[in-house]
């Protein structure tokens, strides 16, 4: 805390700034209203103000200009309105807490000390000369996060500014009232951070703007790297930093970058709602958010049913270790690898010479164009032309063929029959159409004249157009055209390519596979992998591990869809994506910079990618010179005791540094039976609630175990527990039962691990899942087992936890 004199000065300044904010808000209000009304008025009277006259060319030109003028006026008013409204909103947001930090900085050679107050947006005094508040994203404010008092510097577009920071101060201002003022000499705000972290978890993530740490600031403000990779321990603030980074980029590039040009790939649909309030809280619009699955579904269309990653992980976690299981695991691993990516590229090369598969076009149980004809046509093109380009040429050819075939079709018997079945109304409609449309009439007249001329014989009814005949012709045209429409559509939508066949063709004998793909190392269990893949495809379904390769092959064959609008791609929980998926994202967003945040310690999917370290394959994606690696080792989420316990389960975990916040040691409760375990958990949930913890999660290994736990706990009095499944749309505060993989990325005040016995968590591959589950806890971690403890706990030093044994 500061001395009384400083406190009084700060009080005074706060009142002054608040007063000025209020004044400015009061000034802006009528302006905002006025502009809104004006724009509304202009829109309403748009056509009154415009003189529409198209009699002559000059009149037309004048009308055109008058519309343009009116349009310009309207858009100018609307722009001013939006700007003023934004200003007004920013001021409203500042009012309850105008700033959270201050630095006093003297630039070398200037000798004037500037007081830099920092808040969520800038505010300039009424003369427009002095910054009363600096936006936290301004270059000068970066010193607040990067330096302790002493020599300091910041970068501006015009170069580096150096000087001395004499003071660094933090404020807590609530509802416009000064509550705390701290002077800090070290990194920011251990005191403030203590307070922030000591609070309860929320169903929504919070902005960390007032307490961003130096190492996080480096992530937020990096504007050089094409690829920024962040490996950070559980709870080290990766997601928080990512969101602050979006806000920073939107501010820094505000002239060029719009929120919808930033895409965040999130681990599950629920996560979207979890992080959705951070950016609006900072005065920015939300970026686009998607799960990779959503993207895959969009790319693959409705033709195939796609397994989702959660079903895949359920399979991996629940099935027994049979040969079939081993093969599936091998398949998952191989299909995520760079070798398979190369194999597919080679396969596309092979398809350029032979082996393409097409779907023939059939119509009314007849072959119109057979697959063989398509193949012949396709391979008649110059083989040096790219595969996808040749597919485009084939498409053109097919559309032309269809036009010819459609014309021929009009004389077919079925058309005549259809004509006979048309009711009077349909005839009448065409009749009316023919008479109404001058154009058609003229055309028909001309047609007759030409016929007359060509055939050199006079018309039977000279000058009298034969409507009956024309009507029939027009109707048959329409009938055939209607029926040919789906054929054209399927050509345009590339349904002519037998994609499933092309993909299935890969999974044959090892020799054929090797010949088609030049693959030298056929993976183990290949025969089973092939059988499983083909069997699934025969049901028009795809394993999750096949979805990205399938889409990749589709794009090699049909041409790549790219999105050049997106400028920044963020991948959260990046360890759960395969190299295959990264290659894919890189192709899809060729103009984007990429920020990948993840933790290899939480890699729960089989296709995981190591993010950090010299051999991280991710560095190769854009190459070392364009890639920056940042590592976060400080964990903010959990208490020291929880971090000390959880990090002991991970190889290399000792590098994780807990933030110094204390709580009880994790508590291990040993029950004699499942029933006893459930009764105890139900009771403990009630106790935790009574202690005031608002968000409590009973975490299970799988969805199946979640259902079991929910049933048992409900039977033992835990009626208020909500079951979370992959379909749950949003998080809400309260007590929940949730499978570990859905709890990824989020946090709870208290976590209870439903069953930590060796029966449940024993495979080495389950270590990280168990670790992920435990690291969701902020203040309390309680573990339960009805049998022997999982080996992951047995390996932990007994001084790091407490044990409670229940009697029978």
Q: Give residues in contact with ligand ATP (CB under 6 A).
A: 193, 196-197, 206, 208, 211-213, 216, 232, 234-240, 599, 636-637, 745, 747, 775
Q: Min. distance of Cβ 740 from ligand ATP in angstroms?
A: 12
* Distance of alpha carbon 677 from alpha carbon 688, whole angstroms: 16
Backbone angles phi, psi at 187, to 5 degrees: -65, 165
261: tokens are 């040009």
Residue nearest to ligand ATP as judged by C-beta position: 237
Asked if 788 contacts 755 with a C-beta cutoff of 8 angstroms, the reply is no
The beta-strand segments (E) located in 667-747 are 667-670, 696-700, 722-723, 735-739
Rounded distance, CA 578 to CA 582, Å?
A: 6
The answer to whether residues 211 and 189 touch, using CB atoms and an 8 Å cutoff, is yes
HSE (CB half, 13 Å, CA atoms) of 123? 28
Question: Please, what is the minimum distance in Å from the beta carbon of residue 141 to ligand ATP?
Answer: 15
Contacts of 78 (CB under 8 A, 6+ apart): 39
Toward ligand ATP, which CB reaches closer, 602 or 676? 602
CA distance to 168, 381, 741, per residue, from 386 (Å): 62, 10, 42
| Beta carbon nearer to ligand ATP, 235 or 666 | 235
- The reply, when asked if residue 235 is annotated as ligand binding, is yes
Instruction: Point out which residues pair with 290 in neighbouring strands.
Output: 265
Residue ranges in 493-560 assigned as alpha helix (H)? 499-506, 510-517, 526-538, 544-558
Contact present, 689 and 696 (Cβ < 8 Å): yes
Structure token digits, residue 84:
């003023």
Instruction: Tell me if 51 sits within 8 A of 66, measured CB to CB.
Output: yes
CA distance 138 to 188: 18
Comparing CB distances to ligand ATP, the nearer of 237 and 309 is 237
236 labelled binding-site residue:
yes
Spell out where 70-158 has E strands: 101-107, 113-119, 123-124, 131-135, 150-156
Minimum distance from residue 291 beta carbon to ligand ATP (Å): 16
> Is 142 labeled as ligand-binding?
no
CB atoms closer than 10 angstroms to residue 508: 14
Q: Comparing C-alpha atoms, which of 750, 773, 755 is closest to residue 696?
A: 750
Q: How far is the CB of 765 from ligand ATP (least distance, A)?
A: 19
Nearer to ligand ATP, 65 or 214 (CB): 214
d(CA 721, CA 740): 16
**CB 762 → ligand ATP: shortest distance, Å?**
23
Computed from CA positions of residues 483, 485, 491, 495, in that sequence, does the dihedral angle turn out positive or negative?
Answer: negative
Measured from the CB atom, the residue of 747 and 766 that comes closer to ligand ATP is 747
Residue whose CB is less far from ligand ATP, 241 or 391: 241
Q: Which is nearer to ligand ATP, 208 or 304 (CB)?
A: 208
Pick 201 or 530: Cβ nearer ligand ATP: 201
Smallest distance, Å, CB 704 to ligand ATP? Answer: 24
In angstroms, the CA 165 to CA 350 distance is 65
- CA 397 remoteness from chain centre: 38
Residue 623, annotated ligand binder? no
- Nearer Cβ to ligand ATP (142/676): 142
CB atoms within 10 A of CB 642: 29
Is residue 299 helix, strand or coil?
Answer: helix
Smaller CB distance to ligand ATP: residue 163 or 237?
A: 237
Q: Which two tokens stand for residue 454?
A: 């060509």
Residue 480: both structure tokens together: 């055939």
The minimum distance between CB 240 and ligand ATP, in angstroms, equals 3
Beta bridge partners of 700: 739
The nearer residue to ligand ATP, 525 or 780, going by C-beta atoms, is 780
Would you say 232 or 331 has its CB closer to ligand ATP? 232
Please give the C-alpha separations between residue 196 and each of 176, 206, 275, in angstroms, as whole numbers. 18, 10, 17
Q: Which residues of 752-775 are buried (b: 16+ CB within 10 A; e: fewer)?
A: bbbbbbeebbeeeebbbbbbbbbb
The residue (of 181 and 597) whose beta carbon lies closer to ligand ATP is 597
Cβ(130)–Cβ(121) below 8 Å: no
**Least spacing, CB of residue 784 vs ligand ATP, in Å:** 22
237 is in an annotated binding site: yes
Radius of gyration from C-alpha coordinates of the chain: 34
233 is in an annotated binding site: yes
The one-character DSSP state at 460 is T
* In the complex, least distance from residue 235 CB atom to ligand ATP, rounded to whole angstroms: 4
- Pick the closer one to ligand ATP by CB: 206 or 226: 206
Question: Alpha helices, DSSP H only, in 355-460?
Answer: 371-380, 387-409, 413-421, 424-436, 438-455
Write down the least CB distance from residue 116 to ligand ATP, Å. 20
Q: According to the annotation, is 785 in a ligand binding site?
A: no
Residues at the annotated binding site?
232-239
Q: Which residue ranges make up the annotated binding site for ATP?
A: 232-239
């Amino acid at each position: 805390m500061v001395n009384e004199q400083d406190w009084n000065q700060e009080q005074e300044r706060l009142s002054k700034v608040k007063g000025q904010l209020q004044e400015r808000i009061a000034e802006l209000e009528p302006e905002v209203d006025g502009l809104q009304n004006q724009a509304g008025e202009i829109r309403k009277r748009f056509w009154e103000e415009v003189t529409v006259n198209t009699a002559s060319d000059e009149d037309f030109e004048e009308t055109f200009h008058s519309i343009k003028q009116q349009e310009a006026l309207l858009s100018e008013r609307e722009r001013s309105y939006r700007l003023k409204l934004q200003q007004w909103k920013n001021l409203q947001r500042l009012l309850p807490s105008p700033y959270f930090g201050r630095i006093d900085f003297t630039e070398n050679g200037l000798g004037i000390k500037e007081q830099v107050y920092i808040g969520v947006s800038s505010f300039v005094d009424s003369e427009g000369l002095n910054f009363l508040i600096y936006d936290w994203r301004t270059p000068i404010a970066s010193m607040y996060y990067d330096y302790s008092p002493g020599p300091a510097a910041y970068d501006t577009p015009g170069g580096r500014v150096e000087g001395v920071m004499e003071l660094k101060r933090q404020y807590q201002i609530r509802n416009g009232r000064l509550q705390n003022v701290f002077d800090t000499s070290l990194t920011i705000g251990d005191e403030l951070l203590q307070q922030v972290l000591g609070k309860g978890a929320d169903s929504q993530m919070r902005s960390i703007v007032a307490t961003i740490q130096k190492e996080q600031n480096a992530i937020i403000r990096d504007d050089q790297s094409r690829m920024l990779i962040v490996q950070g321990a559980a709870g080290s603030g990766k997601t928080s930093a990512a969101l602050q980074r979006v806000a920073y980029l939107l501010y820094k590039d505000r002239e060029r970058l719009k929120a919808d040009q930033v895409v965040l790939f999130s681990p599950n649909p629920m996560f979207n709602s979890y992080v959705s309030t951070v950016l609006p809280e900072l005065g920015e619009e939300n970026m686009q958010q998607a799960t990779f699955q959503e993207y895959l579904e969009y790319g693959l269309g409705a033709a195939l049913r796609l397994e989702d990653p959660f079903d895949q992980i359920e399979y991996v976690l629940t099935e027994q270790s049979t040969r079939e299981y081993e093969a599936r695991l091998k398949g998952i691993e191989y299909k995520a690898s760079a070798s398979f990516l190369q194999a597919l590229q080679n396969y596309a090369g092979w398809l350029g010479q032979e082996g393409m598969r097409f779907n023939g076009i059939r119509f009314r149980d007849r072959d119109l164009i057979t697959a063989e004809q398509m193949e012949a046509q396709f391979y008649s093109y110059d083989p040096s032309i790219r595969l996808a380009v040749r597919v485009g040429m084939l498409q053109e050819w097919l559309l032309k063929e269809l036009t010819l075939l459609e014309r021929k079709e009009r004389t077919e018997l079925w058309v005549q029959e259809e004509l006979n079945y048309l009711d009077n109304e349909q005839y009448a409609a065409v009749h009316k159409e023919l008479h109404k449309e001058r154009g058609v009439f003229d055309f028909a007249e001309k047609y007759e004249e030409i016929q007359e001329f060509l055939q050199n014989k006079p018309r039977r009814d000279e000058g009298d157009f034969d409507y009956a005949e024309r009507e029939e012709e027009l109707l048959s045209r329409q009938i055939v055209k209607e029926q040919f429409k789906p054929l054209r559509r399927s050509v345009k939508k590339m349904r002519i390519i037998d994609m499933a066949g092309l993909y299935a063709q890969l999974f044959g004998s090892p020799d054929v596979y090797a010949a088609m793909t030049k693959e030298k190392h056929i993976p183990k269990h290949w025969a089973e992998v092939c059988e499983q893949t083909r069997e699934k495809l025969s049901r028009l379904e795809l394993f999750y591990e096949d979805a990205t390769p399938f889409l990749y092959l589709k794009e090699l064959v049909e041409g790549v869809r790219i999105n050049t609008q997106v400028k920044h791609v963020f991948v959260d929980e990046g360890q759960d994506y395969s190299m295959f998926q990264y290659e894919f994202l890189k192709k899809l967003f060729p103009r984007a910079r990429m920020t990948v945040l993840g933790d290899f310690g939480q890699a729960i999917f089989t296709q995981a990618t190591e993010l950090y370290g010299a051999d991280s394959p991710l560095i190769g994606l854009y190459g070392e010179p364009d890639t920056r690696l940042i590592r976060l080792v400080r964990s903010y989420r959990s208490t020291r005791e929880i971090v000390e316990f959880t990090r002991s389960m991970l190889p290399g975990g000792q590098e994780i540094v807990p933030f110094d916040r204390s709580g009880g040691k994790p508590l291990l409760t040993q029950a004699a039976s499942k029933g006893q375990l459930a009764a105890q958990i139900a009771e403990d949930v009630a106790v935790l609630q009574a202690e005031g913890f608002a968000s409590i999660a009973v975490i299970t290994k799988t969805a199946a175990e979640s259902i079991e736990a929910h049933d048992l706990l409900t039977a033992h009095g835990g009626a208020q527990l909500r079951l979370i499944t992959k379909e749950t749309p949003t998080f809400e505060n309260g007590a929940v039962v949730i499978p570990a993989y859905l709890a990824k990325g989020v946090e709870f005040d208290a976590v209870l691990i439903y069953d930590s016995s060796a029966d449940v968590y024993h495979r080495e591959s389950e270590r990280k899942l168990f670790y992920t589950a435990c690291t969701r806890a902020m203040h309390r971690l309680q573990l339960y087992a009805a049998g022997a403890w999982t080996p992951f706990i047995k390996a932990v030093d007994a001084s790091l936890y407490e044990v409670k044994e229940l009697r029978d």
